[in-house]
Amino acid sequence: MARINLLPWRSEERARRNKEFLTLVAAVTLLALLSAFATWSYFNNELEEQRDANDRIMQENNRLDTVLAEIDTLEQRREDIISRMQVIQDLQGRRPIPVRLWDDVAKAMPQALYLNNLKREGDLLTFTGLADNPNVVSSLIRNLDDSLWMENSAVRNIQQNISAYEAEATLNRAPTNGERPRPIYPEDSYVQFVVTTQVQSSSTEPTQSAEIAASANGSGGTL
């Protein structure tokens, strides 16, 4: 005898399909959430690592800035030491100069010449005086340049002594009221001159400066 299914099979099929659809939607939603969480976790981890890297870079930059500041300080100290050493070497090199300088100045003075004033400003010597004639002044220039301690000697001014003409006018004028005539001196015909010369340091000064720089470079790493 044949059996007839009287149950509402269409309703059961619809319910089954709805259940499968809801299960699929739930699975897809869960998979999407898991993918989103995984993506967020990945990029969040990358961001944290980048922040850590940035922090390390900032710390390293700060450390390098400190090192550079220390290097600048050491360089400044090195320059100060070099300057002090140069001053000391210069003073030591110049100690014998005054004695030798004045000795050479005395030897450079020719006859028929005398000084009214001698002035030193730094390394510049200025001679002011009277000479028998311009040739005597030229001899003074040559003698000064022949010295090891002087150079670049030059005449800054030279002129005839005005008092010679005044004396001549006084002699030509007849004395009055018992006035005694002024005698004529040889110096009345002298020329007035102004001569300058440059005082030079010891010839070993460049070598000393090189030795200073070399010694400072050798000791720079120990500061």
pLDDT band at 59 (very low <50, low <70, confident <90, very high): very high
Residue 102's pLDDT is 83
Give the three-state DSSP class for 133: coil
Residue 159 and residue 70 share a domain: no
pLDDT in tens, 65-111: 999 999 999 999 999 999 888 888 776 666 666 778 888 888 888 88
pLDDT band at 55 (very low <50, low <70, confident <90, very high): very high
> 93-118 b/e with 16+ CB inside 10 Å = b?
beeebeeebeebbeebbeeebeeeee
Q: Looking at the domain assignment, is residue 192 inside a domain? A: yes
Q: Looking at the domain assignment, is residue 40 inside a domain? A: yes
> 49-74 b/e with 16+ CB inside 10 Å = b?
eeeeeeeeeeeeeeeeeeeeeeeeee
Residues written for the chain? 223
- The whole model's pTM is what? 0.43
Residue 193 and residue 113 share a domain: yes
Residue 145 and residue 83 share a domain: no
- Could you list the residue range(s) of the whole structural domain that residue 39 is in? 12-95
Residue 53 and residue 27 share a domain: yes
Listed residue (103, 95, 161) closest to 128, CA to CA: 161
Q: Looking at the domain assignment, is residue 222 inside a domain? A: no
- CATH number of the domain where residue 153 is located: 3.30.1360.100
In the chain, % of residues over pLDDT 70: 71
Residue 153's pLDDT is 87
Residue 131 and residue 84 share a domain: no
DSSP 173: S
pLDDT band at 64 (very low <50, low <70, confident <90, very high): very high
Residue 91 and residue 35 share a domain: yes
